[in-house]
Amino acid sequence: MPDPAVPPTPPVPLDALLARADLGLRRIAGPADPAVVVHWAHTSEMADPYPYLLGGELLLSAGVHVPDGAGAGYFDAYVSRIVAAGGAALGFGVAPVHDTVPGALVEACEMHGLPLVEVPPRTTFSAVARALWQLMAQARTAELRRVTEAQQSLATAAARPDPVPSVLQQLARRLGGHAVLYGPEGTRLAGAGPEPGEEVRTALAKLAEVVRPPSTGRLRTPSPEGPRPPSAGHTRASSPGHRVGSGPDAPAGSPGDLHADLAARPSSASDTVAGVRLVAHALGNGEGFVLGTAAPQRDAGDHTIASVAAVLLSLLTGERHSGSGAGRSSALVRLLLGAAPAEVAPLLGGDRWRVVHGRPDGRAAPDAVTASALGAALGSSLVDVAGEVVRVLVPDGRAVERVPGWTLGVSAAAAPRDWPAADTQAARALARARATRAPLLRHGDRPTALTDLVPPAEADAHARALLAPIEQSPALVDTLRTWLSLHGSWDRTAVALDVHRNTVRQRIARCAALLDADLDDPDVRMELWFALRRT
């Protein structure tokens, strides 16, 4: 018989159904094995129920089909057909047809190893079926809760400073066993949980070879026999193990042979060695990493939990070992060792970049997860959280669009030497966007016509001289700049600077006094704005 079709609900141990006091069920024959589980209940009075069973059922019968004077031969044939169909147990109702369970049926179930359950007269078959489905629903809820809690703990572990060991530790704890990460060459990189014996470790390493694809960017010559499972007959793979395109005309190490090797290898495989359940998952980042688990038993939801861990490890190992990740790491090291930004910029993937300042529309300050989400939306992993603002460095060729839930300020494209100025541009654009309630504002790339007419050196000297009385107070300079950009609006300036409107009034009054200027005069405002643009 093929494996029985498995319903989407988890099976229920027969012992759990027998423990229901409201049903009054009693096992009177067959093994008292706690591993016996029931997938569903089915009522049938057919003398041969085989064609109507899928496997895993608790078959319920009142013995209507039993002919008068039926002997041991009839019941032997009846029970053997139930066992052949994969039935899990037989429930026999003692009313209204029979007063007791026939002794020959008890003997047949004992001989064939089929659990026989007596259903008392007060218990209907529908009550048994309803109780079974209630237990299934409870088991399903418990499974979903366990998987959800595991997903949350794995995601939290992935955000730790040591994400890979943390994810493995969490996975081992959730599975009650051992978890290990193998590298592209089969090297054991990290492990967590109780260390299994040598036999199990060896079998798990061999199982990892069954699912490991060649890592991206390098060809691996497959063995002539193809991938071999550690123990024939025990391995279950998620895709067929046949080899494609590896005939005599395909040279070893060719792209066609590489693709054939990839197609031939399953994404996961399992085995049981020394009573320990082994599972290997190929990580989906194309780098050749494999996650292996060894647990003494297999519980509902284990595969889902391990799959979540495999996805997280795929992201972590892919990021850590990909070219872009290595480039960013190299750029950081060189900066820390004294290299200039212009020298490390090519390692980041571009020569000109835009600085984006973002602030979430809610009141809560952004955390690392929120900042990463903004970076993902903008297509960049170069993200920094600075207080209530998230700063993102985006390549010039990548479009910066609105992001729901965020207010953004975008700088002009800048070379590395001008990144500090671009950071200031983005900050000013964000302040103006918040004041005008615009979701996104960009800094203008082209200077004003007045700037074009005045030589830069003379403009800078004039700006320094004009603003000298307040240059030692950044708060006054920023307030004056924001106030002028918003046409003297107290309320909008207060919103942009995140201060009280009275604070804005006091600062502007202080600027007027120190500068000895009438800030209501449009000519004065224009001259000050010109000077502030040079700082």
Among 233, 297, 229, residue whose Cα is nearest residue 268: 229
**pLDDT (tens digit per residue) in 485-521:** 888 999 999 998 989 999 999 999 999 999 999 998 8
The overall average pLDDT reported for the chain is: 81
Q: How far, CA to CA in Å, does 335 sit from each of 6, 320, 354?
A: 57, 19, 19
**Residue 40 structural domain:** 12-135
Per-residue pLDDT, 29: 95
Q: Tell me: do 163 and 298 sit in the same domain.
A: yes
Residues 331 and 391 in one domain: no
CA angle at 394 for the pair 390 and 397, rounded to the nearest 5°? 155
* Same domain as 90, residue 26: yes
| CA angle in degrees (0–180, nearest 5) for 273-276-84 | 80
Question: Are residue 106 and residue 28 in the same domain, yes or no?
Answer: yes
**Ranges assigned E (strand) in 94-154:** 116-119
Number of helices (H), then strands (E), in the chain = 18, 18
Let me know: does 235 contact 269? Beta carbons within 8 Å: yes
Give every CB contact of residue 360 below 8 A, 6+ residues apart in sequence. 366, 370, 390, 405, 406
Q: Which of 67, 101, 135 is the last residue of a domain?
A: 135
Asked whether residue 275 is domain-assigned, the answer is: yes
Same domain flag for 384 and 471: no
Distances (CA, A) of 110 to 117, 178, 270, 314, 464: 12, 39, 33, 51, 101
Q: Is the pLDDT of residue 232 over 70?
A: no
Instruction: Assess if residue 100 is contained within a domain.
Output: yes
Q: Which two tokens stand for residue 97?
A: 């047809």
443-448 long-range contacts, Cβ below 8 Å, gap at least 24?
443/409, 443/410, 443/411, 443/412, 444/412, 445/412, 445/413, 448/533
Span between the terminal Cα atoms of the chain, in Å? 83
Q: Each residue of 111-123: pLDDT tens digit?
A: 999 999 999 999 9
Same domain, 364 and 473: no
Asked whether residue 366 is domain-assigned, the answer is yes
pLDDT category at 355 given cuts 50, 70, 90 is very high
What pLDDT does residue 326 have? 61
Whether 81 and 30 map to the same domain: the answer is yes
Look at the block and give the residue holding tokens 């993902």: 376
Would residue 404 count as lying in a domain? yes
227 against 345, higher pLDDT: 345
Question: Which pLDDT belongs to residue 401?
Answer: 87
Give domain status of residue 94, yes or no: yes
> Do both 273 and 341 map to the same domain?
no
pLDDT in tens, 365-374: 787 767 777 8
Helix (H, G, I), strand (E, B) or coil at 43: strand
pLDDT in tens, 71-102: 999 999 999 999 999 999 999 999 889 999 99
Has residue 140 been placed in a domain? no
Select the more confidently predicted residue: 287 or 206.
Answer: 206
d(CA 242, CA 319): 31
Are residues 402 and 525 located together in one domain of the fold? no
Q: What residues pair up with 335 in beta bridges, in sequence order?
A: none
Cα-atom radius of gyration of the chain, to the nearest Å? 36
Ranges assigned E (strand) in 129-286: 178-182, 188-192, 236-237, 268-273, 276-282
Tokens representing residue 199 in the block? 């036999």
- Domain closes at, from 442, 473, 506: 442
262: phi > 0 → left, psi -120 to 50 → alpha, else beta; which?
Answer: alpha
Domain-embedded: residue 149: no
List Cβ neighbours of 408 (8 Å cut-off, separation of 6 or more): 356, 357, 358, 400, 402, 430, 433, 439, 440, 441
Separation CA 527–CA 532 (nearest Å): 9
Q: Judge whether 288 lies within some domain.
A: yes
At 37 the pLDDT is 92
Higher pLDDT: 167 or 261? It is 167
Stretch 211-239: mean pLDDT, rounded?
A: 43
Helix (H) or strand (E) holding 506: helix 501-515
Structural domain count, the chain: 5
304 with 174, same domain: the answer is yes
Residue 281, SS3 per DSSP: strand
DSSP symbols for 236-261:
EESS-----S-STTS-TT-HHHHHHH
Question: Secondary structure of the chain: what % helix, strand, coil (to 5)?
Answer: 45, 15, 40
Question: Looking at beta carbons, which pairs linking 5-9 to residues 24 or more positions away fall under 8 Å?
Answer: 5/54, 5/55, 6/39, 6/56, 7/39, 7/40, 9/39, 9/133, 9/136, 9/137, 9/139, 9/140
The pLDDT of residue 151: 86
